[in-house]
Structure 1
């Protein structure tokens, strides 16, 4: 009888502890800082919706740069950007996992160093946790960037804190290729590890392509499956971007089927190089758009915009749906 009473009291205590948290805490962990940017720097907000569910709120300045982005859910995230002139010099990412206790936040602080041509040449990450008693400087990751004559970006050197030292890396390639108009045309990623007595493990191996419309807006992204070995993308294979008359992104259509094969059946050549992206897309725009409109295997992400109003938008409105 006594043991049953103790169990009952323990259950009541647990329920009482759970009830101390509001539904908002489940959408944005209380350990994540709320809006920090001064009102004078905020021009408008953008909300993101999936299946009519409010999943994100972003605050922008008058140059259309994201200042703070809040992603809601049992796993919640805040990204804070700070600028010096035109340069994004610091980004802080606050992350709460749905498997962590309330108030437990992992923090990734990214500092960027630029060269005389305003290109990022060093990215320095320091990691910490709201529940960690270790010196954040012990947990770091730094990578050095270089650029080809075509403008492609490559990782030339990487440094990690002692907790992240790993001699098992077989290959680690992270490359961004520019197209003929100096825009991002392709992102190639390859990361293979090997531990004794086990075959190599390909953690990342993908090639993502980017195409733009006649005004320079991002129109289409997709993962390339035509290279030997196959590529393993994360998320949707193809995303089609749609804009309003003010050139604001209003919808992303995430196609979950094998859209590349769908294109090929329409007679489109999707194996062209990154340098041919603009030409390829401009020649096939009508056929691509027509093919996408006929393909119903997608889910939609929509965006809404509002001019910033302190009385209306602050404190931060946290969805509970």
Structure 2
């Protein structure tokens, strides 16, 4: 299969603690995005870091079942990373991580040498945790030089990103190489505690991305594109949990960029893409774990 999208970032096992004990689910924000993109019908390759152990093989199998594939450089001799997720009363989760992160940088020549790589996505822990974070940043710059669509989701984990000034600087470097930045309202408030939502979008847009999207949970999505602000209402559902909701929205936005490059220039195309992302996220939160919908499921809800 040709690679439409290269996703670089962590794949791990979410250990979800509930009333009935622990459940182990494949997770990691970039891995969730890779699954979401594959379920939207895009050839997707994930460069990550997993152990050659039972958990790592489970991750590889689930990524493969989604239609994506692991880059052959993803396996290491270290144990597969984990994140213990504790669900709050509103269905959101907080995490305790056991993770190491180290991947090779991908060069512009690497990307040009793989047929049909049209987009590169990264973010989350992979962007901030060393030694792999520097390689990820280099990969973003190479992707921009190679003419790929570059997307970033900071998905801030305060316990892992270091001090605020360093994390903000790293995010700024990544955003400067990006065409599309998506972040949650929690990310925005952590990165820019003194700014409101619109000011955050303005601040990030000034770094260089053509489109900045803010997900706001039950308030829907807000974006700044070439022609100003565009909003989309959420899909109203009964929430099972919110694990993977932002990742599903991110995958949908990258999918929309691949489907129609007017996303970056047309308010109508952006509005349609935001609506699609809202529906994709809504379906995801209506079921347990990071389980993004297929393209057919999204199309059916959009009518």
Bigger radius of gyration among the two: 1
User: TM tier, shorter chain?
Assistant: 0.3 to 0.5
Higher strand share: 1
Q: Structure 2 length as normaliser, TM-score? A: 0.34
Q: Structure 1 length as normaliser, TM-score? A: 0.33
